[in-house]
Amino acid sequence: MAVLDELDDQALVAKLYQIERELVAARFKHSTNQLENTAQLRNFRREIARLKMVARAREVAQGLSKDALIAMHRPTVISTTMTGGTEEAKGGFLAGIVDKISGND
């Protein structure tokens, strides 16, 4: 949890969207019997809950409404690739699915 507290708001939202995309990909793999470690699904859900908890705590501290922090930083989200580099979010197949699932259009 201390690691999440060190992230700035934009990085927190970027990590949230990254984990949500990984969860969607893992669910897809699980449905096609290609996921080797099914415990990943649980770990992703828990990590998302932790990130949302930290985001909500920051919203309360800043006097913002619910989900305002995520909405505020959504257009400028920077995603990190698997290699550790950064690039601007380009969308794509999984990005559209995550946006529909999370209710962000």
Q: What does the pLDDT look like over 10-44, one tens digit per residue?
A: 899 999 999 999 999 999 999 999 999 999 999 99
What range defines the domain where residue 63 resides?
2-102
Q: What does the pLDDT look like over 28-86, one tens digit per residue?
A: 999 999 999 999 999 999 999 999 999 999 999 999 999 898 888 875 444 444 445 44
Task: Calculate mean pLDDT across residues 88-95.
Answer: 56
Structure tokens at 45: 């859900």
Contacts for 24 with CB less than 8 Å, ≥ 6 apart: 94, 97, 98, 101
Number of domains in the chain: 1
